[in-house]
């Protein structure tokens, strides 16, 4: 049975292609699945369509077209390099998640405050902000290319935010499962102690009813014994 992707996964897939074009410039050790040739081809085709149609719609010049095309060529080159490195790391047996969005150069090489290093603030905020700043610097040089960087920054932030929320939801679910397991263990221990005490008082206190109780059986036996006692004199008299 084919499983449908969740809305969060569909949103990540939609945001990934523009983010992919800048991620290869800003990250190292990107997961092998995120570097798949199919995704690489999709991102390259999206860049090519933007250079031919988007730049024309934005009334860009031939220089703008060539700039976007050059950016696309650099993206393909770096994506291939990342893919080869990830493939070699996999063959060496390095343990690295195949869906990892990589290690940020900003977070690993700069001395940032501790609060920025927690909860993936570098990936969700700093990296997209750097792309926006680069776009503003290139706005006068080429507005179409700057707009692509703005789109990529928004896509990168949305992609990282969706991944962070998915991971947070997973961690909360695990914590809830541990809490529920502890409650279940306490419940089992509570009723296990209660069963032990009740068995000391009565052997059948917690037994499943499967026949006549011991008290009823004893009364029936006493009654039969009494009837047999009453029948004995009658037999002697009649004799």
Q: Which residues contact 146 (CB under 8 A, 6 or more apart)?
A: 135, 136, 138, 139
pTM, 2 dp: 0.73
* pLDDT number for residue 205: 44
Token output for 163: 């991944």
Q: Is 28 helix (H, G, I), strand (E, B) or coil?
A: strand
Do 33 and 98 contact (CB within 8 A), yes or no? Answer: yes
Q: What is the pLDDT along the chain (239 residues), one digit of tens a residue?
A: 444 556 656 666 667 899 999 999 999 999 999 999 999 999 999 999 999 999 999 999 999 999 999 999 999 999 999 999 999 999 999 989 898 999 999 888 777 787 777 888 999 999 999 999 999 999 999 999 999 999 999 999 999 998 899 889 999 999 999 999 888 888 888 888 755 444 444 444 444 444 445 555 566 666 666 655 555 444 434 43
Between the CA of residue 60 and those of 53, 134, 141, 152, what are the distances in Å? 10, 19, 11, 19
- Return the pLDDT at 108: 82
Q: What are phi and psi of 214, to 5 degrees?
A: -65, -35
Helix (H, G, I), strand (E, B) or coil at 202: coil
The DSSP result for 197-221, as a single string, is: HHHHH-TTSSSPP-S--HHHHHHHH
Length of the chain counted residue by residue: 239
The structure tokens 């009334």 sit at 59
Give me the residue label for tokens 């914590």: 175
Structure tokens at 74: 């650099």
């Amino acid at each position: 049975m084919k499983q449908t992707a969740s809305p969060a996964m569909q949103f990540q897939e939609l945001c990934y292609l523009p983010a992919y074009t800048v991620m290869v410039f800003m990250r190292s050790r990107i997961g092998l699945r995120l570097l798949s040739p199919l995704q690489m081809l999709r991102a390259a085709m999206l860049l090519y369509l933007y250079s031919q149609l988007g730049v024309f719609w934005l009334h860009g010049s031939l220089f703008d077209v060539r700039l976007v095309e050059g950016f696309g060529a650099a993206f393909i080159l770096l994506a291939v390099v990342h893919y080869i490195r990830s493939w070699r790391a996999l063959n060496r047996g390095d343990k690295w998640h195949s869906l990892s969005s990589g290690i940020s150069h900003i977070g690993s090489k700069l001395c940032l405050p501790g609060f920025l290093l927690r909860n993936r603030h570098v990936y969700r905020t700093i990296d997209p902000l750097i792309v926006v700043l680069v776009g503003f610097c290139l706005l006068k040089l080429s507005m179409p290319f700057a707009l692509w960087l703005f789109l990529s920054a928004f896509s990168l932030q949305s992609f990282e935010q969706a991944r962070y929320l998915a991971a947070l939801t997973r961690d909360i679910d695990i914590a809830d499962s541990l809490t529920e397991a502890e409650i279940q263990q306490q419940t089992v221990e509570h009723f296990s102690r209660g069963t032990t005490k009740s068995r000391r008082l009565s052997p059948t206190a917690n037994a499943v009813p499967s026949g006549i109780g011991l008290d009823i059986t004893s009364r029936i036996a006493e009654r039969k014994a009494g009837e047999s006692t009453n029948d004995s004199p009658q037999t002697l008299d009649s004799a």
